[in-house]
Amino acid sequence: MSNFAIGDQDFLLDDRPFRILSGAIHYFRVHPDLWADRIEKARLMGLNTIETYVPWNEHSPIPDAFVCDGGLDLGRFLDLVAAAGMHAIVRPGPYICAEWDNGGLPAWLFTDPTVGVRSSEPGYLAAVSSYMEAVLALVVPRQITQGGPVIMFQIENEYGAYGDDKAYLQHLVDLSKSLGVDVPLFTCDQPFGTMIEDGSLPELHKTGTFGSRSLERLGFLRERQPTGPLMCAEFWNGWFDNWGTHHHTTDAAASAAELDALLTAGASVNIYMFHGGTNFGFTNGANDKGIYEPTITSYDYDAPLSEDGHPTAKYFAFRDVIAKHFPVPAEEPVPRAPAPVSVVAVSESVPLLSVAGSTSLASETIPPVEVTGQYRGFYLYEVLLQGGGVVSFSEVRDRAQFFLDGVPVGVLSRELGERTVVIPRGGRLQVLLEDQGRVNYGQRIGEAKGLIGPALLNGVEVLDWEVGAVDLASLDAFRAAAVALPRGAASAGVAGPSISFATFEADGPGDRFLRLDGWTKGNAFVNGFNLGRYWSRGPQRTLYVPGPLIREGANELAILELHGSATRKVSFVVGPDLGPDEK
């Protein structure tokens, strides 16, 4: 067994000075069959440690559950880190930010309005305790003191940017220790104002998060922590994208120079991200600092290892910097090979509303979507209107399509601050509501989704609503109801909202890149796996299809299109297109 400790100036591995050279890989953003490949490529860049968050809401999609198999097998991920001869840092939150849905906090937790958010409120602490017990059952046996890879364990996450509830932080510390954590505990905060002091406790090791002006940031940290090793726990070498903006990139040489300055100063580092991965399905988060901005499907982050796991110019620039300070393996990863190219046409389709509206809950006043027990994706509201006029809501979270007796009559978007729609006459009103991602940073964490009431028609409240969740966990019901599209040219397109199906052939597993030119907005699925959202507004133009999803022979592609397409065709292209950058 080994030990890991915090000395007066250095981290100590078996009582000898040790520099942490870590890279962030979120196991929950990477297909599990690709974990070993991504870890090995971190080792080849010269890293000695892998860091990961743990997403509470993904492991606990409903109360009293903790899923830890398949793509959520944290134990297997840590074992693969160990098998590569590397160490691990675990950051379980319970809040993780990470541009992840609700910052990792379960939406079901806040259906009780008395439950606190990131505080010492008893209901919140009770839920956190249950979650931590489940996480630590996997982590504690894999600590370095027990022969495993885990050398450090984080308490909360950038808490100083949110609050300063010391009782809450102390609860997390006491809980972690009582459950068997005996590796060093640490906090990370931005080196600004009082965030480092507010987000930590005197006995916890403090680290910083930054991506530029490294020496200045390290100096700020040293002023607040006179002894102990310096560490940047999140070295931001890239950034994430929102829909409707450019693809964010950072100059490889400039990022490498910052990394060099950090290492020359004797600091340890965790590169955020080393490999970003993908916000599959409905897992993306959002920001709202007055304007709601949902995060795109790709979490490429302009990281050293691309979304599909290949080295970039930044990878080699960082590798060269690390080689100036530490030994680096001689082997290099191979560059990306062209992916198979083909054009596929959808042949069958089914209107979404004809299948989605089969089960619903009745409510006098308009409820948030959480009443359905589904906490992500799409929902259908229905009500009978006696007449037409102006329909308004307090807020729309996040995007609503309105249909009167099946005919589209308008769209309301949270991004645009829209709250009113004109309904021409009475009839059956259906509203297809899309949760575009829960806010992952700031004071709007934990808020409800849906049409936020009161719902008014010409100033009078509309009552007797029905609301149901659109279940896309399985496409069986839609597949069974799909019918052949009428004969016509590919440019005939597909009307939405609908789910359309196509079959394509493959020689076997291998990465692909799905391009949906001419389609508007929705989600795509390969062999039932939800690849994530697409949107014609960009920036990203392709969806990443992890190779293990593809099987030899026939494969199924399904496209949920919300509005309509100008074509029935989609393309598999040679490589990713994440959109124009700011240059």
Domain boundary at 470, 498, 527, which?
470
Claim to verify: residue 287 and residue 417 sit in the same structural domain: no
Claim to verify: residue 458 and residue 537 sit in the same structural domain: no
For helices 74-83 and 35-44, the axis angle rounded to 10 degrees is: 40
Claim to verify: residue 461 and residue 496 sit in the same structural domain: no
149 in helix, strand or coil?
coil
Residue 93 and residue 87 in contact, taking contact as beta carbons nearer than 8 Å = no
Point out the catalytic residue in the list 51, 99, 156, 234: 234
Claim to verify: residue 362 and residue 219 sit in the same structural domain: no
Using CB atoms within 10 A of its CB, is residue 167 exposed (0-12), middle (13-18) or buried (19+)?
exposed
Q: Residue 432 CB: number of other CB atoms within 10 A?
A: 23
192 in helix, strand or coil?
coil
Claim to verify: residue 377 and residue 312 sit in the same structural domain: no
Cis amide bond preceding 497, omega within 30: yes
510 in helix, strand or coil?
coil
Q: Note if 158 is an active site residue.
A: yes
CA 12 – CA 514 distance, rounded (Å): 47
Model confidence, pTM:
0.97
Claim to verify: residue 403 and residue 542 sit in the same structural domain: no
In a domain, 264, yes or no: yes
Domain boundary at 470, 503, 522, which?
470
Domain boundary at 470, 493, 525, which?
470
CA 381 – CA 214 distance, rounded (Å): 51
Residue 432 and residue 446 in contact, taking contact as beta carbons nearer than 8 Å = no
Q: Which domain holds residue 498?
A: 342-347+485-573
In a domain, 336, yes or no: no
Alpha helices in 268-398 (DSSP H): 313-325, 352-356
Claim to verify: residue 117 and residue 206 sit in the same structural domain: yes
CA 59 – CA 47 distance, rounded (Å): 28
Cα pseudo-dihedral 59, 63, 64, 66, rounded to 10: -10
The pLDDT assigned to 361 comes to 84
Claim to verify: residue 164 and residue 313 sit in the same structural domain: yes
In a domain, 478, yes or no: no
Claim to verify: residue 491 and residue 464 sit in the same structural domain: no
513 in helix, strand or coil?
strand
In a domain, 480, yes or no: no
Claim to verify: residue 70 and residue 219 sit in the same structural domain: yes
Claim to verify: residue 245 and residue 357 sit in the same structural domain: no
One-letter amino acid for residue 383 of the chain: V
In a domain, 537, yes or no: yes
Point out the catalytic residue in the list 51, 99, 156, 158: 158
CA 423 – CA 402 distance, rounded (Å): 9
In a domain, 337, yes or no: no
Q: Note if 203 is an active site residue.
A: no
How many independent structural domains does the chain possess? 3
DSSP 393: -
10-residue mean pLDDT series, the chain (583 residues): 96 98 99 98 98 99 97 98 98 98 98 97 98 98 98 98 98 98 98 97 98 97 97 98 97 98 98 98 97 98 98 98 98 94 97 82 92 97 97 98 98 98 98 98 96 98 96 96 88 95 98 98 98 98 98 98 98 97 76
368 in helix, strand or coil?
coil
CA 499 – CA 146 distance, rounded (Å): 50
| CATH number, domain containing residue 162 | 3.20.20.80
Cα pseudo-dihedral 259, 261, 266, 269, rounded to 10: -20
81: CB partners within 8 A, 6+ apart: 39, 50, 87, 88, 149
| CATH number, domain containing residue 403 | 2.60.120.260
CA 520 – CA 537 distance, rounded (Å): 8
- Give the E-state strand segments of 322-435 in sequence order: 342-345, 348-351, 361-363, 378-385, 389-392, 395-397, 399-404, 407-413, 420-423, 427-434
The first and second tokens of residue 115, run together, are 């439950």
The pLDDT assigned to 235 comes to 98
Claim to verify: residue 70 and residue 142 sit in the same structural domain: yes
In a domain, 23, yes or no: yes
In a domain, 409, yes or no: yes
What is the distance of C-alpha 85 from the center of its chain?
A: 28
The pLDDT assigned to 357 comes to 65
Alpha helices in 213-312 (DSSP H): 214-224, 252-264
CA 264 – CA 567 distance, rounded (Å): 55
- Give the E-state strand segments of 424-517 in sequence order: 427-434, 450-452, 456-457, 460-461, 465-470, 483-484, 498-506, 512-515
Unique residue bearing structure tokens 């995060």: 295
The first and second tokens of residue 23, run together, are 């890279």
